[in-house]
Amino acid sequence: MSTGNLRGMLTIDQLRREVKQGQIDTVLLSFTDPYGRQMGKRLDAGYFLDGAAGHGTHCCDYLLTVDMEMEPVAGYRLANWARGYGDFHMAPDLSTLRRATWLEKTALVICDLLDVRSHALVAQAPRSILRRQIERAAALGYQVMAGSEVEYFIFQNSYRQAAAAGYAGLEPAGWYLEDYHILQGTREEPLNGAVRRHLAASGIPVECSKGEWGVGQHELNVRYADVLTMADRHAIFKQCFKEVADQQGVSVTFMAKFDTARAGSSCHLHCSLWQDGQSVMAGPKQLGPVRASDVFGSFLAGWIEHVPEVMVFYAPTVNSYKRYRSGSWAPTRLAWSHDNRTASFRVVGEGPSLRIECRIPGADCNPYLAFAAALASGLDGVARKLDPPPIFQGDVYAADALPTVPATLRHATDQFEASPFARAALGEEVVEHYAHFYRVEQQAYDQAVTDWERRRYFEQI
Protein backbone atom coordinates (compact mmCIF):
# COMPACT_ATOMS: atom_id res chain seq x y z
CA MET A 1 0.00 0.00 0.00
CA SER A 2 1.37 3.41 -0.89
CA THR A 3 1.54 5.74 2.09
CA GLY A 4 3.52 8.51 0.41
CA ASN A 5 0.57 10.89 0.13
CA LEU A 6 -0.38 10.64 3.79
CA ARG A 7 0.29 13.62 6.02
CA GLY A 8 3.48 13.02 7.95
CA MET A 9 5.05 10.46 5.61
CA LEU A 10 8.45 11.44 4.23
CA THR A 11 10.56 10.66 1.20
CA ILE A 12 14.33 10.84 1.47
CA ASP A 13 14.30 14.11 -0.47
CA GLN A 14 11.69 15.58 1.88
CA LEU A 15 13.73 14.43 4.89
CA ARG A 16 16.83 16.02 3.41
CA ARG A 17 15.00 19.35 2.99
CA GLU A 18 13.65 19.28 6.54
CA VAL A 19 17.08 18.43 7.95
CA LYS A 20 18.60 21.33 6.01
CA GLN A 21 15.89 23.67 7.34
CA GLY A 22 16.54 22.50 10.93
CA GLN A 23 13.10 20.94 11.34
CA ILE A 24 14.46 17.40 11.88
CA ASP A 25 17.78 16.46 13.45
CA THR A 26 17.14 12.87 14.62
CA VAL A 27 16.04 9.68 12.86
CA LEU A 28 14.73 6.90 15.09
CA LEU A 29 15.31 3.39 13.67
CA SER A 30 13.17 0.76 15.38
CA PHE A 31 11.78 -2.77 15.27
CA THR A 32 9.67 -4.83 17.66
CA ASP A 33 11.04 -7.59 19.88
CA PRO A 34 8.91 -10.69 20.61
CA TYR A 35 7.05 -8.85 23.38
CA GLY A 36 6.11 -6.12 20.88
CA ARG A 37 8.38 -3.51 22.47
CA GLN A 38 10.14 -0.97 20.26
CA MET A 39 13.90 -1.47 20.10
CA GLY A 40 16.46 0.44 18.07
CA LYS A 41 18.70 3.50 17.83
CA ARG A 42 18.45 7.25 17.41
CA LEU A 43 20.71 8.40 14.58
CA ASP A 44 21.85 11.90 13.83
CA ALA A 45 19.78 12.85 10.79
CA GLY A 46 22.83 13.95 8.82
CA TYR A 47 24.57 10.65 9.48
CA PHE A 48 21.43 8.79 8.41
CA LEU A 49 21.30 10.71 5.14
CA ASP A 50 25.03 10.22 4.53
CA GLY A 51 24.66 6.45 4.31
CA ALA A 52 22.52 4.79 6.95
CA ALA A 53 19.37 5.43 4.90
CA GLY A 54 20.63 2.94 2.37
CA HIS A 55 22.64 0.63 4.58
CA GLY A 56 20.98 0.82 7.98
CA THR A 57 22.79 0.03 11.20
CA HIS A 58 23.47 -2.85 13.55
CA CYS A 59 22.03 -4.08 16.85
CA CYS A 60 22.87 -6.94 19.19
CA ASP A 61 21.18 -10.21 18.25
CA TYR A 62 20.29 -10.88 21.88
CA LEU A 63 17.33 -8.51 21.47
CA LEU A 64 15.19 -11.40 20.19
CA THR A 65 16.17 -13.62 23.14
CA VAL A 66 16.16 -11.46 26.28
CA ASP A 67 13.44 -11.54 28.91
CA MET A 68 11.28 -8.61 29.98
CA GLU A 69 14.09 -7.31 32.22
CA MET A 70 16.60 -7.47 29.32
CA GLU A 71 18.48 -10.40 30.84
CA PRO A 72 20.04 -12.87 28.36
CA VAL A 73 18.19 -16.20 28.41
CA ALA A 74 19.84 -19.56 27.81
CA GLY A 75 18.44 -22.17 25.45
CA TYR A 76 18.00 -20.22 22.23
CA ARG A 77 19.64 -21.44 19.03
CA LEU A 78 19.46 -17.99 17.39
CA ALA A 79 21.64 -16.10 19.88
CA ASN A 80 23.56 -17.30 22.93
CA TRP A 81 26.81 -16.92 24.85
CA ALA A 82 28.51 -19.69 22.83
CA ARG A 83 27.88 -17.74 19.63
CA GLY A 84 29.15 -14.55 21.27
CA TYR A 85 25.98 -12.47 20.89
CA GLY A 86 26.81 -10.87 17.57
CA ASP A 87 24.84 -8.40 15.47
CA PHE A 88 21.74 -8.20 13.36
CA HIS A 89 21.55 -5.75 10.48
CA MET A 90 18.73 -3.23 10.90
CA ALA A 91 17.58 -2.47 7.33
CA PRO A 92 15.31 0.61 7.10
CA ASP A 93 12.07 0.11 5.19
CA LEU A 94 11.98 3.58 3.66
CA SER A 95 8.28 3.25 2.83
CA THR A 96 7.70 3.65 6.60
CA LEU A 97 9.75 6.87 6.96
CA ARG A 98 7.62 9.47 8.73
CA ARG A 99 7.66 12.37 11.13
CA ALA A 100 7.21 11.38 14.77
CA THR A 101 5.51 14.61 15.79
CA TRP A 102 5.30 13.72 19.48
CA LEU A 103 9.13 13.70 19.61
CA GLU A 104 11.08 16.90 19.07
CA LYS A 105 12.64 17.23 15.58
CA THR A 106 12.42 13.47 15.04
CA ALA A 107 11.64 11.20 12.10
CA LEU A 108 10.99 7.47 12.49
CA VAL A 109 11.59 4.51 10.21
CA ILE A 110 10.78 0.85 10.84
CA CYS A 111 13.48 -1.69 10.12
CA ASP A 112 13.59 -5.31 9.05
CA LEU A 113 16.18 -7.48 10.79
CA LEU A 114 18.67 -9.16 8.45
CA ASP A 115 21.44 -11.69 8.99
CA VAL A 116 24.71 -9.76 8.80
CA ARG A 117 26.35 -12.37 6.56
CA SER A 118 23.60 -13.59 4.23
CA HIS A 119 21.47 -10.41 4.37
CA ALA A 120 18.42 -12.68 4.50
CA LEU A 121 15.51 -11.77 6.77
CA VAL A 122 15.95 -13.12 10.29
CA ALA A 123 13.21 -15.75 10.31
CA GLN A 124 12.40 -15.32 14.02
CA ALA A 125 11.89 -11.54 13.85
CA PRO A 126 8.18 -10.65 14.22
CA ARG A 127 8.05 -8.54 11.05
CA SER A 128 9.77 -11.32 9.08
CA ILE A 129 7.15 -13.82 10.26
CA LEU A 130 4.35 -11.61 8.98
CA ARG A 131 6.20 -10.96 5.71
CA ARG A 132 6.34 -14.72 5.09
CA GLN A 133 2.55 -15.00 5.38
CA ILE A 134 2.04 -12.01 3.09
CA GLU A 135 4.20 -13.78 0.51
CA ARG A 136 2.04 -16.91 0.90
CA ALA A 137 -1.09 -14.83 0.29
CA ALA A 138 0.48 -13.23 -2.78
CA ALA A 139 1.39 -16.65 -4.16
CA LEU A 140 -2.31 -17.54 -3.95
CA GLY A 141 -3.18 -14.29 -5.73
CA TYR A 142 -4.40 -12.28 -2.74
CA GLN A 143 -3.59 -9.03 -1.00
CA VAL A 144 -4.59 -8.82 2.65
CA MET A 145 -6.30 -5.81 4.17
CA ALA A 146 -6.50 -5.56 7.93
CA GLY A 147 -7.40 -3.42 10.90
CA SER A 148 -6.90 -3.69 14.66
CA GLU A 149 -8.88 -2.15 17.51
CA VAL A 150 -6.82 -1.65 20.65
CA GLU A 151 -8.14 -0.99 24.16
CA TYR A 152 -6.20 0.42 27.13
CA PHE A 153 -6.58 1.83 30.64
CA ILE A 154 -5.48 5.37 31.56
CA PHE A 155 -4.26 6.32 35.03
CA GLN A 156 -3.61 9.71 36.61
CA ASN A 157 -0.30 8.45 38.02
CA SER A 158 2.90 8.85 36.04
CA TYR A 159 4.82 5.74 35.05
CA ARG A 160 7.49 6.57 37.63
CA GLN A 161 4.87 6.98 40.35
CA ALA A 162 3.16 3.75 39.32
CA ALA A 163 6.45 1.85 39.48
CA ALA A 164 7.27 3.32 42.91
CA ALA A 165 3.85 2.19 44.16
CA GLY A 166 4.37 -1.32 42.86
CA TYR A 167 1.53 -0.66 40.41
CA ALA A 168 -0.94 -0.85 43.28
CA GLY A 169 -3.56 1.69 44.32
CA LEU A 170 -3.38 3.61 41.04
CA GLU A 171 -5.98 6.30 40.30
CA PRO A 172 -7.96 5.58 37.11
CA ALA A 173 -8.62 8.47 34.76
CA GLY A 174 -12.37 7.93 35.23
CA TRP A 175 -14.58 6.84 38.09
CA TYR A 176 -17.42 4.96 36.38
CA LEU A 177 -17.93 2.72 33.36
CA GLU A 178 -17.58 4.93 30.31
CA ASP A 179 -18.52 2.83 27.27
CA TYR A 180 -19.37 5.38 24.53
CA HIS A 181 -19.71 8.01 27.31
CA ILE A 182 -18.92 11.48 25.97
CA LEU A 183 -18.59 13.33 29.29
CA GLN A 184 -16.04 10.93 30.72
CA GLY A 185 -14.31 10.80 27.35
CA THR A 186 -14.00 14.58 27.41
CA ARG A 187 -12.12 14.36 30.69
CA GLU A 188 -9.61 12.04 29.01
CA GLU A 189 -9.21 14.18 25.88
CA PRO A 190 -5.91 15.75 26.99
CA LEU A 191 -4.30 12.36 26.33
CA ASN A 192 -6.57 10.74 23.73
CA GLY A 193 -6.91 13.92 21.68
CA ALA A 194 -3.17 14.56 21.72
CA VAL A 195 -2.47 11.02 20.53
CA ARG A 196 -5.08 11.23 17.75
CA ARG A 197 -3.54 14.45 16.47
CA HIS A 198 0.04 13.15 16.66
CA LEU A 199 -0.85 9.93 14.86
CA ALA A 200 -2.70 11.78 12.09
CA ALA A 201 0.27 14.12 11.64
CA SER A 202 2.70 11.17 11.60
CA GLY A 203 1.29 9.16 8.72
CA ILE A 204 -1.22 7.13 10.74
CA PRO A 205 -4.77 8.19 9.83
CA VAL A 206 -7.21 7.84 12.72
CA GLU A 207 -10.82 6.72 12.68
CA CYS A 208 -12.00 7.47 16.22
CA SER A 209 -11.59 7.07 19.95
CA LYS A 210 -14.30 6.07 22.43
CA GLY A 211 -14.86 5.09 26.01
CA GLU A 212 -14.85 1.37 26.82
CA TRP A 213 -16.51 -0.89 29.39
CA GLY A 214 -14.06 -0.12 32.15
CA VAL A 215 -13.18 2.64 34.60
CA GLY A 216 -10.62 4.77 32.76
CA GLN A 217 -10.71 2.40 29.77
CA HIS A 218 -10.69 3.70 26.22
CA GLU A 219 -10.18 2.54 22.65
CA LEU A 220 -8.56 4.31 19.71
CA ASN A 221 -8.85 2.97 16.16
CA VAL A 222 -6.63 3.84 13.22
CA ARG A 223 -7.72 3.25 9.64
CA TYR A 224 -7.35 -0.15 8.04
CA ALA A 225 -4.61 -0.76 5.47
CA ASP A 226 -2.68 -3.59 3.89
CA VAL A 227 -1.70 -5.95 6.69
CA LEU A 228 1.99 -5.02 6.94
CA THR A 229 1.21 -1.31 7.03
CA MET A 230 -1.49 -2.00 9.62
CA ALA A 231 0.90 -3.91 11.86
CA ASP A 232 3.43 -1.07 11.55
CA ARG A 233 0.74 1.46 12.46
CA HIS A 234 -0.32 -0.63 15.45
CA ALA A 235 3.25 -0.88 16.76
CA ILE A 236 3.88 2.87 16.38
CA PHE A 237 0.46 3.67 17.87
CA LYS A 238 1.34 1.91 21.15
CA GLN A 239 4.74 3.58 21.36
CA CYS A 240 3.24 7.01 20.67
CA PHE A 241 0.57 6.46 23.33
CA LYS A 242 3.08 5.52 26.03
CA GLU A 243 5.43 8.39 25.22
CA VAL A 244 2.69 11.04 25.08
CA ALA A 245 1.29 9.72 28.37
CA ASP A 246 4.77 9.93 29.87
CA GLN A 247 5.11 13.52 28.67
CA GLN A 248 1.79 14.40 30.35
CA GLY A 249 2.67 12.75 33.66
CA VAL A 250 0.01 10.05 33.33
CA SER A 251 0.23 6.39 32.33
CA VAL A 252 -1.51 3.90 30.08
CA THR A 253 -1.43 0.11 30.18
CA PHE A 254 -2.07 -2.39 27.42
CA MET A 255 -2.18 -5.35 29.81
CA ALA A 256 -4.85 -7.83 28.77
CA LYS A 257 -6.28 -7.93 32.32
CA PHE A 258 -5.18 -5.15 34.63
CA ASP A 259 -7.66 -5.81 37.45
CA THR A 260 -9.54 -8.95 38.45
CA ALA A 261 -12.77 -7.02 38.90
CA ARG A 262 -12.53 -5.00 35.68
CA ALA A 263 -12.95 -5.75 32.00
CA GLY A 264 -9.93 -6.88 30.06
CA SER A 265 -8.40 -4.95 27.17
CA SER A 266 -8.88 -6.48 23.74
CA CYS A 267 -7.25 -6.17 20.35
CA HIS A 268 -9.87 -7.12 17.77
CA LEU A 269 -8.37 -8.11 14.41
CA HIS A 270 -10.22 -7.48 11.13
CA CYS A 271 -9.08 -9.21 7.94
CA SER A 272 -10.26 -9.49 4.34
CA LEU A 273 -8.69 -10.82 1.14
CA TRP A 274 -8.49 -8.67 -2.00
CA GLN A 275 -7.60 -9.03 -5.66
CA ASP A 276 -6.88 -6.16 -8.04
CA GLY A 277 -7.98 -3.56 -5.50
CA GLN A 278 -11.32 -5.23 -4.74
CA SER A 279 -12.44 -7.37 -1.81
CA VAL A 280 -13.20 -10.99 -2.71
CA MET A 281 -15.07 -11.77 0.51
CA ALA A 282 -18.63 -11.13 -0.69
CA GLY A 283 -20.33 -13.60 -3.01
CA PRO A 284 -23.41 -15.67 -3.79
CA LYS A 285 -23.03 -18.27 -1.05
CA GLN A 286 -25.56 -17.92 1.77
CA LEU A 287 -23.97 -18.40 5.20
CA GLY A 288 -26.78 -17.60 7.60
CA PRO A 289 -27.63 -13.95 6.93
CA VAL A 290 -24.28 -13.41 5.19
CA ARG A 291 -23.82 -13.53 1.41
CA ALA A 292 -20.21 -14.55 1.00
CA SER A 293 -17.73 -16.12 -1.37
CA ASP A 294 -16.20 -19.58 -1.07
CA VAL A 295 -12.90 -17.85 -0.26
CA PHE A 296 -14.54 -16.06 2.66
CA GLY A 297 -15.93 -19.30 4.08
CA SER A 298 -12.66 -21.17 3.73
CA PHE A 299 -10.59 -18.36 5.26
CA LEU A 300 -13.00 -18.21 8.20
CA ALA A 301 -12.90 -22.00 8.60
CA GLY A 302 -9.11 -22.13 8.68
CA TRP A 303 -8.86 -19.20 11.07
CA ILE A 304 -11.23 -20.88 13.54
CA GLU A 305 -9.70 -24.36 13.20
CA HIS A 306 -6.16 -23.33 14.04
CA VAL A 307 -6.81 -21.00 17.00
CA PRO A 308 -5.61 -23.51 19.63
CA GLU A 309 -2.35 -24.16 17.76
CA VAL A 310 -1.38 -20.48 17.39
CA MET A 311 -3.10 -19.11 20.49
CA VAL A 312 0.27 -17.98 21.89
CA PHE A 313 0.45 -15.32 19.17
CA TYR A 314 -2.95 -13.92 20.24
CA ALA A 315 -2.41 -14.31 23.99
CA PRO A 316 1.34 -14.13 24.69
CA THR A 317 1.55 -13.70 28.47
CA VAL A 318 0.36 -15.45 31.61
CA ASN A 319 -1.88 -12.46 32.20
CA SER A 320 -3.50 -12.80 28.76
CA TYR A 321 -5.56 -15.83 29.78
CA LYS A 322 -7.19 -14.11 32.75
CA ARG A 323 -9.23 -12.07 30.29
CA TYR A 324 -11.27 -15.02 29.00
CA ARG A 325 -14.27 -15.07 31.33
CA SER A 326 -17.98 -15.48 30.58
CA GLY A 327 -19.87 -12.20 30.31
CA SER A 328 -16.62 -10.23 30.14
CA TRP A 329 -16.79 -9.18 26.45
CA ALA A 330 -13.81 -11.48 25.84
CA PRO A 331 -14.63 -14.73 23.99
CA THR A 332 -14.34 -18.08 25.73
CA ARG A 333 -15.51 -20.49 22.98
CA LEU A 334 -14.73 -21.03 19.32
CA ALA A 335 -17.64 -20.10 17.09
CA TRP A 336 -18.58 -17.58 14.45
CA SER A 337 -21.66 -15.46 14.34
CA HIS A 338 -23.05 -12.41 12.58
CA ASP A 339 -22.67 -9.15 14.52
CA ASN A 340 -22.60 -11.01 17.84
CA ARG A 341 -20.13 -9.80 20.46
CA THR A 342 -20.27 -13.04 22.46
CA ALA A 343 -18.61 -14.92 19.56
CA SER A 344 -14.88 -15.31 19.11
CA PHE A 345 -15.35 -14.61 15.38
CA ARG A 346 -17.82 -11.85 14.54
CA VAL A 347 -18.68 -11.35 10.88
CA VAL A 348 -19.45 -7.71 10.10
CA GLY A 349 -20.15 -5.55 7.08
CA GLU A 350 -21.64 -6.57 3.78
CA GLY A 351 -20.72 -6.41 0.12
CA PRO A 352 -17.30 -4.73 -0.35
CA SER A 353 -16.95 -4.15 3.42
CA LEU A 354 -17.61 -7.78 4.44
CA ARG A 355 -14.87 -8.91 6.80
CA ILE A 356 -14.03 -11.17 9.71
CA GLU A 357 -13.41 -9.77 13.18
CA CYS A 358 -11.47 -12.03 15.53
CA ARG A 359 -12.12 -11.00 19.13
CA ILE A 360 -9.62 -13.38 20.73
CA PRO A 361 -6.37 -11.33 20.89
CA GLY A 362 -5.69 -9.10 23.86
CA ALA A 363 -4.19 -5.63 23.80
CA ASP A 364 -0.90 -7.22 24.85
CA CYS A 365 -0.43 -9.06 21.55
CA ASN A 366 2.45 -8.34 19.20
CA PRO A 367 0.60 -7.16 16.04
CA TYR A 368 3.06 -8.77 13.64
CA LEU A 369 2.69 -12.17 15.31
CA ALA A 370 -1.09 -11.91 15.74
CA PHE A 371 -1.68 -11.00 12.10
CA ALA A 372 0.78 -13.68 10.99
CA ALA A 373 -1.16 -16.30 12.95
CA ALA A 374 -4.45 -15.10 11.47
CA LEU A 375 -3.09 -15.20 7.92
CA ALA A 376 -1.39 -18.57 8.26
CA SER A 377 -4.61 -20.07 9.61
CA GLY A 378 -6.97 -18.49 7.10
CA LEU A 379 -4.76 -19.21 4.09
CA ASP A 380 -4.55 -22.86 5.12
CA GLY A 381 -8.34 -22.95 5.06
CA VAL A 382 -8.35 -21.41 1.57
CA ALA A 383 -5.73 -23.85 0.29
CA ARG A 384 -7.72 -26.81 1.65
CA LYS A 385 -11.09 -25.36 0.56
CA LEU A 386 -12.53 -25.85 4.04
CA ASP A 387 -16.16 -25.17 4.87
CA PRO A 388 -16.83 -23.18 8.04
CA PRO A 389 -18.82 -24.68 10.91
CA PRO A 390 -22.49 -23.69 11.04
CA ILE A 391 -23.19 -20.14 12.14
CA PHE A 392 -23.99 -19.83 15.84
CA GLN A 393 -26.87 -17.67 16.99
CA GLY A 394 -27.41 -16.70 20.60
CA ASP A 395 -25.17 -16.47 23.66
CA VAL A 396 -21.89 -18.22 22.89
CA TYR A 397 -20.89 -18.01 26.56
CA ALA A 398 -23.73 -20.42 27.40
CA ALA A 399 -22.98 -22.90 24.59
CA ASP A 400 -21.29 -25.66 26.60
CA ALA A 401 -20.93 -27.96 23.57
CA LEU A 402 -18.59 -25.57 21.75
CA PRO A 403 -14.81 -25.95 22.12
CA THR A 404 -13.09 -23.46 24.40
CA VAL A 405 -10.03 -21.32 23.80
CA PRO A 406 -6.87 -22.55 25.61
CA ALA A 407 -7.06 -21.66 29.28
CA THR A 408 -3.40 -21.01 30.13
CA LEU A 409 -0.15 -20.00 28.50
CA ARG A 410 1.30 -23.41 29.39
CA HIS A 411 -1.53 -25.23 27.61
CA ALA A 412 -1.31 -22.93 24.58
CA THR A 413 2.48 -23.37 24.34
CA ASP A 414 2.13 -27.16 24.43
CA GLN A 415 -0.31 -27.05 21.51
CA PHE A 416 1.85 -24.61 19.56
CA GLU A 417 4.99 -26.69 19.98
CA ALA A 418 3.23 -29.94 19.02
CA SER A 419 1.42 -28.51 15.99
CA PRO A 420 2.44 -29.85 12.55
CA PHE A 421 0.42 -26.98 11.06
CA ALA A 422 2.41 -24.33 12.96
CA ARG A 423 5.70 -25.89 11.90
CA ALA A 424 4.65 -26.10 8.26
CA ALA A 425 3.14 -22.61 8.10
CA LEU A 426 5.55 -20.66 10.29
CA GLY A 427 8.74 -22.72 10.04
CA GLU A 428 10.54 -25.07 12.39
CA GLU A 429 12.94 -22.37 13.59
CA VAL A 430 10.07 -20.01 14.45
CA VAL A 431 8.15 -22.63 16.44
CA GLU A 432 11.29 -23.70 18.30
CA HIS A 433 12.22 -20.10 19.12
CA TYR A 434 8.81 -18.97 20.34
CA ALA A 435 7.96 -22.17 22.21
CA HIS A 436 11.10 -21.52 24.25
CA PHE A 437 10.20 -17.84 24.61
CA TYR A 438 6.74 -18.62 26.05
CA ARG A 439 8.07 -21.38 28.31
CA VAL A 440 10.58 -18.94 29.79
CA GLU A 441 7.73 -16.49 30.40
CA GLN A 442 5.67 -19.21 32.10
CA GLN A 443 8.62 -20.27 34.23
CA ALA A 444 9.20 -16.71 35.42
CA TYR A 445 5.61 -16.59 36.63
CA ASP A 446 5.75 -20.05 38.22
CA GLN A 447 8.75 -19.02 40.31
CA ALA A 448 7.35 -15.65 41.42
CA VAL A 449 5.74 -15.08 44.82
CA THR A 450 2.76 -12.82 44.24
CA ASP A 451 0.80 -10.31 46.30
CA TRP A 452 -2.21 -12.64 46.00
CA GLU A 453 -0.26 -15.40 47.75
CA ARG A 454 0.83 -13.13 50.58
CA ARG A 455 -2.70 -11.84 51.13
CA ARG A 456 -4.12 -15.36 51.09
CA TYR A 457 -1.52 -17.32 53.07
CA PHE A 458 0.54 -14.94 55.27
CA GLU A 459 -1.69 -15.27 58.33
CA GLN A 460 -4.20 -17.99 57.51
CA ILE A 461 -1.95 -20.89 56.53
User: Which tens digits make up the pLDDT trace of 376-404?
Assistant: 999 999 999 999 999 999 998 989 999 99
What pLDDT is attached to residue 2?
A: 47
Using a pLDDT cut of 90, give the percent of the chain over it: 84
When mean pLDDT is compared across 365-369, 370-374, 444-448, 457-461, the lowest value belongs to 457-461
Residues in the chain: 461
Residue range 166-182: mean pLDDT, rounded: 89
Residue 421's pLDDT band (boundaries 50, 70, 90)? very high
Residue 4's pLDDT band (boundaries 50, 70, 90)? low
- What is the chain's mean pLDDT, rounded? 94
Is the separation of the CB atoms in 97 and 10 below 8 Å? Answer: yes
What pLDDT is attached to residue 53?
A: 75
Residue range 23-52: mean pLDDT, rounded: 95
Q: Name residue 145's beta-bridge partners.
A: 226, 272
312-358 pLDDT, tens digit per residue, is 999 999 999 999 988 888 899 999 999 888 898 999 988 889 999 99
Q: Which SS3 state, helix, strand or coil, does residue 244 take?
A: helix
How many angstroms separate the CA atoms of 309 and 302, rounded?
11
Task: Kindly calculate the radius of gyration of the chain based on its CA atoms and give it in whole angstroms.
Answer: 22
Which residue type, as a one-letter code, is found at position 292?
A: A
Using a pLDDT cut of 70, give the percent of the chain over it: 99
Question: What DSSP string describes 182-198?
Answer: HHHHHHTHHHHHHHHHH
How many angstroms separate the CA atoms of 331 and 318, rounded?
17
CB atoms inside a 10 Å sphere around CB 138: 11
What pLDDT is attached to residue 211?
A: 85
Is the separation of the CB atoms in 306 and 376 below 8 Å? Answer: yes
SS (H, E, C) 288-326: CCEEECHHHHHHHHHHHHCHHHHHHHHCCCCHHHHHCCC
What burial class does residue 272 get, using C-beta atoms within 10 Å of its C-beta: 0-12 exposed, 13-18 middle, 19+ buried?
buried
3-class SS shares of the chain: helix, strand, coil, % to 5: 40, 25, 40
What pLDDT is attached to residue 1?
A: 47
Between CA 440 and CA 446, with CA 444 as vertex, the angle to 5 degrees is: 110
CB atoms inside a 10 Å sphere around CB 374: 30
Q: How many helices (H) and strands (E) does the chain have?
A: 15, 18
- Sketch out the chain's domains with CATH numbers: 12-121 (3.10.20.70), 137-455 (3.30.590.10)
Residue 147's pLDDT band (boundaries 50, 70, 90)? very high
Residue range 256-285: mean pLDDT, rounded: 93
SS (H, E, C) 141-186: CCEEEEEEEEEEEEECCCHHHHHHCCCCCCCECCCCECCCCHHHHH
